[in-house]
Amino acid sequence: MIVFIKRLAALAVILAILAAGAAWYVRPAKPLDLSYVQPDLRGKLTAMLSTRRPEMVLTGREVNDLLKQALSARPELHPGVLVTGAAFALQDERLSADVNLLVRQRLEAGARLWFKLSWTEPYLTAVHTGTEIRGISVPLEWFRLDPLQLDLNADLPKQLRIREVAFEGSTVRLSFNIR
């Protein structure tokens, strides 16, 4: 009986060490937050009118800020998984997001999420295609996010409508129609 209790205690210690190691391994690599600067779309629209070209280019920084704004409105990506910080990087239609997560209000984790971007009026949609934690891929069966949608027409004057969206490297080109 004493041998059984000693083995059980040893197993509990080993499991505790493994759990602590796993928590240390998945912890965020860098501090991130959800703060953003509201992009000056009105200023860009004014510039667009002065050049008389019905298009606007959003920089990678502006896309990052727009996505952080949308994420701030709905930070719970998955039941029990809250985003506490993010940084987005755009490369054509592929979007990566370094995120800091709080899992079940206890465990802090850092991950890189991959998305495929598409435009279907009126939404810019980001479909989750993969997750990595410290370079290790997490199967989509374990962790899949609902598509993120951003209504780009929401901040525009009612006379303008986005006709086309083109992903060009780290920028997004918006072409407009006048209603």
Q: Tell me: cis bond preceding 54? Omega within 30 of 0 counts.
A: no
Can you give the pTM of this predicted structure?
Answer: 0.78
3-state secondary structure of 30: coil
- 153 near 161, Cβ under 8 Å? yes
Element (H, E) at 5: helix 2-26
| φ, ψ of residue 84 in degrees (nearest 5) | -105, -15
CA dihedral 58→168→67→99, nearest 10 degrees, is -140
| φ, ψ of residue 95 in degrees (nearest 5) | -120, 130
Distance of CA 11 to the CA centre of its chain: 39
pLDDT in tens, the chain (179 residues): 788 888 888 888 888 888 777 667 677 878 888 888 888 777 887 787 778 788 888 888 988 898 888 888 888 877 888 889 999 999 989 999 999 988 888 888 888 999 999 988 888 888 999 989 888 888 888 878 888 888 877 777 777 788 888 899 889 888 888 76
